[in-house]
Structure 1
Amino acid sequence: MDLHHLTATEASERFRRRELSPVELLDAVLERTAAVEPTINAVTEQWIDEARAAALASEARFAAAAAGTNGGAPLGALEGIPLMLKDEQPIAGRLLEDGCLLERGNTAEETHPIVERIQAAGAVVHARTTTPEYCCAPVTHSKLWGVTRNPWNPDYTPGGSSGGSGAVLAAGATLLATGSDIGGSIRIPASFCGVVGYKPPFGRVPGMAPFNSDTYCADGPMGRSVADVALLQNVLSGPWVGDAASLREIAEVSGRVGSLDGVRVALCLELGGYDVDPAVEANTRAAAAALAAAGASVVEVELPWGPQRVLDTAWPHFGAVMGPFIEQIVEGDAERAAQLMPYTRAFAEQAAGGGGYVEGLVAESAFYRPFAELMAGYDVLLCPTVASTGLAAEEPCTDSTAIFSQLMTLPFNVIGRVPVLALPSGIAPNGVPTGVQLVGRTYDDAAVFRVGAALEQELALWTDASWWPVL
Structure 2
Amino acid sequence: MHFQNPLEGANEFCRIGAAELAAAFAKRSLSPVEVATAAMDRAEDVNPGLNAFTFIDRHGALDAATASERRWKDGAPLSPVDGVPATLKDIVWVKGWSVRYGSTTTPATPFEEDAPSVALLRQAGAVFIGQTTTPEFGWKAVTDSPLFGVTRNPWNREKTPGGSSGGGAVAAAVGAGVFHLGTDGGGSIRIPASFTGIVGHKPTFGRVPAYPPSPFGTVAHVGPMARRAADAAAMLQAMSGRDLRDWAQGPGELSTLGGEPMARLAGKRIGHWSKPAAGVLDPEVAAIIAAAVARLTAAGALVEPVELPTGDLLDLFHHHWFTGAAARLAAIPEPARAAIDPGLVQIAAAGAAYSSTQLVRAQIRRGEYGAAMDRLLAKYDFLVSPATPLAAFDAGVEVPAGSTFGRWTEWAGFSFPINLSQQPACVVPCGFTAAGLPVGFQIVGARGEDARVLSAAASLETIFP
Scaled by the length of structure 1, what TM-score is found? 0.89
- Compare 338-347 and 203-212 and name the one that shifted more: 203-212
State the partner residue of 1:467.
Answer: none
| Structure 1 pair 212–63 and aligned structure 2 pair: CA distance change class (3 A) | farther
**2:419 maps to 1:413:** yes
Equivalent residue, structure 1, for 2:3: none
Opposite residue 342 of structure 1, the aligned amino acid is P
TM-fit CA distance, 1:237:
1.2
| Shift in CA distance, 340/213, structure 1 to aligned 2, threshold 3 Å | closer
Q: CA deviation at 1:369?
A: 5.0
Comparing 264-273 and 76-85, the one that deviates more:
264-273
- CA 1:212–1:59: 2 relative to 1, 3 Å: farther
| 8 Å Cα contact 1:100/1:143 also seen in 2 | yes
Alignment of 1:428-467 (within 5 A): 428-459=433-464, 461=465
- Residue 247 of structure 2: SS of its match in structure 1? coil
Using the TM superposition, give the Cα deviation of residue 56 of structure 1 relative to its aligned residue in structure 2, in angstroms.
1.9
Q: 1:99 aligns with which of 102, 109, 131?
A: 102
Give the Cα–Cα distance (whole angstroms) in 1 for the partners of residues 274 and 211 of structure 2: 35
Deviation at 1:12, TM superposition (A): 2.1
Q: Which residue of 2 aligns with 1:35?
A: 45
Cα distance in structure 2, aligned partners of 1:148 and 1:130: 7
Partner residue in 2 for 1:424? 429
CA change 1:255–1:81 in 2 (3 A) is farther
Q: Which residue of 2 is the match for residue 149 of structure 1?
A: 152
What is residue 224 of structure 2 aligned with on the other side?
A: 221
The one-letter code matched in structure 1 to 2:341 is M
Indicate whether 1:188 and 2:191 are aligned. Answer: yes
Report the counterpart of residue 17 of structure 1 in structure 2: 27
Distance in 1, matches of 2:96 and 2:71, equals 28
Aligned equivalents of 1:250, 1:144: Cα separation in 2:
38
Q: Which moved more, 1:245-254 or 1:36-45?
A: 245-254
1:169 maps to what in 2? Answer: 172
1:382 aligns with 2:387: no
User: Aligned equivalents of 1:44 and 1:255: distance in 2?
Assistant: 36
| Alpha carbons 2:377, 2:446 under 8 Å: kept | yes
CA contact (8 A) 2:51 2:151 kept: yes
Aligned residues: 447
Q: Does 1:340 align with 2:361?
A: no
Matched, 1:323 2:333: no
What is the RMSD computed on CA atoms of the aligned residues? 2.2
**Residue 212 and residue 231 in structure 1: after superposition, are their counterparts in 2 closer, same or farther (change >3 A)?**
farther
Matches within 5 A, 1:67-466: 73-211=76-214, 214-247=217-250, 248-253=252-257, 256-271=261-276, 274-303=279-308, 305=310, 309-329=312-332, 331=333, 333=334, 335-354=335-354, 356-368=358-370, 370-396=372-398, 401-407=406-412, 408-416=414-422, 418-459=423-464, 461=465
Contact 2:179 2:226 in 1 (8 A): yes
- For the residues of structure 2 that align with 1:104 and 1:428, how far apart are their CA atoms? 42
Task: Single out whichever of 144-153 and 402-411 deviates more from structure 2.
Answer: 402-411
Q: C-alpha displacement at 1:259, in angstroms?
A: 2.0
Cα deviations by residue, 1:240-280 (Å, 9 ceiling, x for unpaired)? 12112225414333674242233111111114564111222
Tell me: CA distance 1:9–1:350, structure 2 relative to 1, closer, same or farther (3 Å).
farther
* Partner Cα distance (2:19, 2:347) in 1: 39
- Contact 2:322–2:347, Cα closer than 8 Å, also in 1: no
CA contact (8 A) 1:97 1:107 kept: no
CA distance in 1, matches of 2:20, 2:77: 19
Residue 370 (structure 1) shift: 4.5
| Structure 1 residue matching 2:327: 3-state secondary structure | helix
What is the identity, as a one-letter code, of the residue corresponding to 2:415?
A: T
What's the % identity of the aligned pairs? 36
The answer to whether the Cα contact below 8 Å between 1:238 and 1:250 also exists between their aligned partners in 2 is no
Report the CA distance shift for 1:145/1:74 in structure 2 as closer, same or farther (over 3 A): closer
Deviates more, 1:257-266 or 1:193-202: 257-266
C-alpha distance in structure 2 between counterparts of 1:105 and 1:91, whole Å = 13
Provide the rounded CA distance (Å) in 2 between the counterparts of 1:439 and 1:271: 14
Of 401-410 and 272-281, deviating more is 272-281
CA distance, structure 2, for counterparts of residue 451 and residue 311 of structure 1: 28
**SS at structure 2 position matched to 1:127:** strand
Q: Retained in 1: the 8 A contact 2:40–2:56?
A: no
Q: CA deviation at 1:291?
A: 2.4
CA contact (8 A) 2:88 2:128 kept: yes
Question: 1:52 matched to which residue of 2?
Answer: 62
CA deviation after TM superposition for structure 1 residue 458, in Å: 1.6
Gaps of 5+ in 2: 1-10
Deviates more, 1:55-64 or 1:181-190: 55-64
In 2, distance between residues paired with 1:321 and 1:344? 11
Per the alignment, in what secondary structure is the counterpart of residue 315 of structure 1? helix
* Matches of 2:300 and 2:25, distance apart in 1: 34
**3-state SS of paired residue (1:215):** helix
Amino acid at match of 1:252: T
Shift of 1:16: 2.5
Q: Write the letter of the residue equivalent to 1:140.
A: T
The answer to whether the 8 A contact 1:271-1:304 is kept is no
Superposition deviation, residue 319 in structure 1: 4.0
Counterparts of 2:303 and 2:161 in 1: how far apart (Å)?
A: 30
Mean CA deviation greater in 151-160 or 337-346: 337-346
* 1:11-47 deviation per Cα after TM superposition (whole angstroms, max 9, x unaligned): 2222223332212212221221121111111111111
**Residue type of the alignment partner of 1:368:** G
**Deviation, structure 1 residue 345:** 1.2
Task: Tell me the distance in 1 between the aligned counterparts of 2:398 and 2:284.
Answer: 24
Does structure 2 conserve the Cα–Cα contact (< 8 Å) formed by 1:227 and 1:255?
A: no
Q: Distance in 1 between matches of 2:448 and 2:104?
A: 38
Change (3 A) 1:48 1:292: same
